[in-house]
Structure 1
């Protein structure tokens, strides 16, 4: 019989060696595929938190930063603008900011902010993404005879108050978005991450 001379130990060795080499080959071939799932350095930078310097931000002023390709507006509100916010509740779609997707939990308050005087908000209308214009004065405007300050979107006439809360009866479905942020110190805000988040 021709099979009587087969070395079964050698056969097992060759089979095991082939399996190991094949496994290593599959692992090496999978590395580029798995690496392609990781975001590029450019993508990581685009989503990275941004530190905003508000040391020179005066009462009534607004500065703009960019985070994840979106304009982030930081506004130092006046006491008069803050005082009028509760009176607008009956005119708003979501006066208590109950839609949790629109802001971090810390901003589910009357001012939609960590500190009442400073509003940090994404400057894009929640209707179709146009940039609303800030009308901070508490004076009648052509688009609202009882205007108490806020944002007006010229694209489709949506209106938001000085906390970014959307008025009822306008195309925008939800309040302006508040991004995650925290105060590094009194003069610096870290946009894109909440304090204590990893």
Structure 2
């Protein structure tokens, strides 16, 4: 990797150690470092953290004095998502999906909290990238977004909370299909070896 990137080994080792700390790389002493397999425990933790944060945010958004402004922005994203779904443009649909949630976060009074949510949903995104749109449906996601907007428009905090919870738990509905379709992503290469926690000193020189 050092040779391919044209840099010394130190920054590469530090980068791998950081990725290992995030659970994206597994370090096997004296053997090397490998991309971490998908782990259900990581998904469950990631989804729990994201749901906890976004449920609180959508409830705050209902009470926001800028709710009308937020609704206009969300309805704009819905229109964009309808277009992307109609032409099967999953990449731009995915980006609009992210913006949809960012708008709620910023109008709930915590504009900088999206960085924390992005960190929390890191492992959830690994599963989402694999399942969407092959095993998921843009039309289903769009319908869930509409229900969130409807609840916000009606200032119904309970309905908004339930709509958001249903939306963020969607990943579990396709999980079994993902595991069946891509079993190799759930298996650690050389799993007989013992994995170690991240530390720059654990990486091969």
TM-score bracket relative to the smaller structure: under 0.3
Larger radius of gyration: 1
Q: Give me the TM-score of the superposition, normalised by structure 1.
A: 0.27
Q: Which has the higher strand share?
A: 1
Q: Give me the TM-score of the superposition, normalised by structure 2.
A: 0.26
Q: Which has the higher helix share?
A: 2
